[in-house]
Structure 1
Amino acid sequence: MYRERPSTLGGGAVLWTRTAAPVAGPALVLPDGCMDLIWREGDGAAGFLVAGPDTRAQTGAERPGTAWTGLRFAPGTGPAVLGVPARELRDQRVPLDALWPGARVRRLTERVTEAADRGEALEELAALDGLAARSRTPEAPGRELHPAVARALAAGRSVADVAREAGLSERQLHRRSLDAFGYGPKTLARILRFQRALERARAGRPPAEVAAVTGYADQAHLARDVRALAGVPLGTLLRGPG
């Protein structure tokens, strides 16, 4: 079962929880331009993972009873909390102690394990330790532009228009986007368009209408893009869990 709510951290962050089904099966995680800090527990073990921004759907087997609690950071905001450029984590799942000192991660692990509410503990740790990460990470020029760039691309603006309004060349925007989002603005725009289309399709809108209002050339274009990013047809996504 999957649930989510807006995080108290603000900035578009989302707190989510997921518990594996009683019967083992594959899990499909769709690309969304985000990075996640995840607490996983099950099979007598627990620990932190960091999920980087994906360029394609990720699949893996879920063991029954495994539980996840995660903070999903809006596109462009995760690197400031985690203290690592997004491009270094693209399409990866890595233990937190691969990014932060082991002693620090062990202290955080103890605090989350002892907390009555895993989600609230995760938000508190991200707020406190994210500030510490930012204090150790040199300020990237124009970092304040990243949320605005993501919003403009999510709204369907062209990369050329976004770069011009940011006072950057397309090459400069691409270079900064690699650190902020994990990939260039064209890839981010494609992923965000896919997410907009999926949201409308899940709301019951017909595929032809979805394609027309989300910027695809036609329904066939939508179908090709969904299969390329998700690995399965749109109909399969609509029948199964997100």
Structure 2
Amino acid sequence: MFPEYAERASRLPGAVVWTKRAVVGRTGGGAAGLVLPDGCMDLLWTEGRLLVAGPDTTAFRPGPGLRGPWAGVRFRPGAAPALLGVPAHELRNRRVDLADLRPGAEVRRLTERIDAAPDPAVALEELAVRLAASAPPEDPQVRAVVAALAAGRTVAATAEAVGLGARQLHRRSLAAFGYGPKTLARILRLQRALALARRGVPLAETAARTGYADQAHLSRDVRELAGMPVTALLGS
């Protein structure tokens, strides 16, 4: 039904539509099937179910009941809470049925419609577009926080740049991203480092270019956030 994994840009700004075929057999301890923290939340479909993936603080490995096939819409950091009407921290490190967040009869109709669609990923994206159309406008301060932290600015510099005090920034971050700005900065830095390393940049240079103290610091962060050594993650 779906390729092993594929993604494309969504009609929603900054979002990604992705598909993944079912996991067959044991996933083992490698990186196959592993979902790394990325600061994002996803709207998910698998046959007969619509779910929401909350923001992760550590790597997530789907269990036997979550093996797909899957279609998903991954929203950019901070965008999903307004669409779903729930603060991100309430969904941190969780996968919940959409029916827990919206009326059950509505979700059953939506699920049946996507189940019957020729391309469930297209139908799921259409649902996300409709949710976005009826949601409050995205907070420009939230966008500015993500941009600053993704560029490697410190939390203090980010707070000053967006005009928020430290406590205000922390509260806004919990609601928008599911965790505080320090955690978000760490996750975004990890994603920048992995993108460089996957392009073949040596780990020592990757660490230096992404703000780690040294390669050992990068390796510790990967192990803590991904649950495995950086060489195993990149080699899988």
Q: What TM-score comes out, normalization by structure 2 length?
A: 0.92
Q: 1:62 to 1:3 in 2, by over 3 A?
A: farther
Match of 1:85 in 2: 87
Aligned Cα root-mean-square deviation (Å): 1.8
**Structure 1: tracts of 5 or more residues without a match:** none
- Taking the aligned partners of 2:169 and 2:232, their CA distance within structure 1 comes to 35
Name which of 58, 61, 72 aligns with 1:59. Answer: 61
Name which of 192, 202, 208 aligns with 1:196. Answer: 192
Match of 2:38 in 1: 32
Q: What letter is aligned with 1:76?
A: G
- Taking the aligned partners of 1:3 and 1:128, their CA distance within structure 2 comes to 23
- Taking the aligned partners of 1:30 and 1:105, their CA distance within structure 2 comes to 27
State the secondary structure of the residue aligned to 2:34: strand
Name which of 139, 145, 150 aligns with 1:143. Answer: 139
Q: 1:110 to 1:21 in 2, by over 3 A?
A: closer
Name which of 11, 14, 17 aligns with 1:15. Answer: 17
Q: 1:144 to 1:65 in 2, by over 3 A?
A: closer
**Structure 2: tracts of 5 or more residues without a match:** none
- Taking the aligned partners of 2:189 and 2:168, their CA distance within structure 1 comes to 22
Number of aligned residue pairs:
229
Match of 1:206 in 2: 202
2:223 pairs with 1:221? no
What do residues 30-74 of structure 1 show as CA deviations (whole Å, max 9, x unaligned)?
100000000013xxxx21111000011112345898310000001
- Taking the aligned partners of 1:62 and 1:15, their CA distance within structure 2 comes to 23
- Taking the aligned partners of 1:204 and 1:158, their CA distance within structure 2 comes to 27
Q: Within 5 Å, give how 1:154-169 maps onto structure 2.
A: 154-169=150-165
Match of 2:130 in 1: 128
Work out whether residues 23 and 69 of structure 2, in 8 Å CA contact, stay in contact via their aligned partners in 1. no
Q: What letter is aligned with 1:70?
A: G
Work out whether residues 20 and 62 of structure 1, in 8 Å CA contact, stay in contact via their aligned partners in 2. no
Work out whether residues 11 and 129 of structure 2, in 8 Å CA contact, stay in contact via their aligned partners in 1. no
More strand by share: 1
Percent identity between the two aligned chains: 59
State the secondary structure of the residue aligned to 1:100: coil
Q: 1:228 to 1:65 in 2, by over 3 A?
A: closer
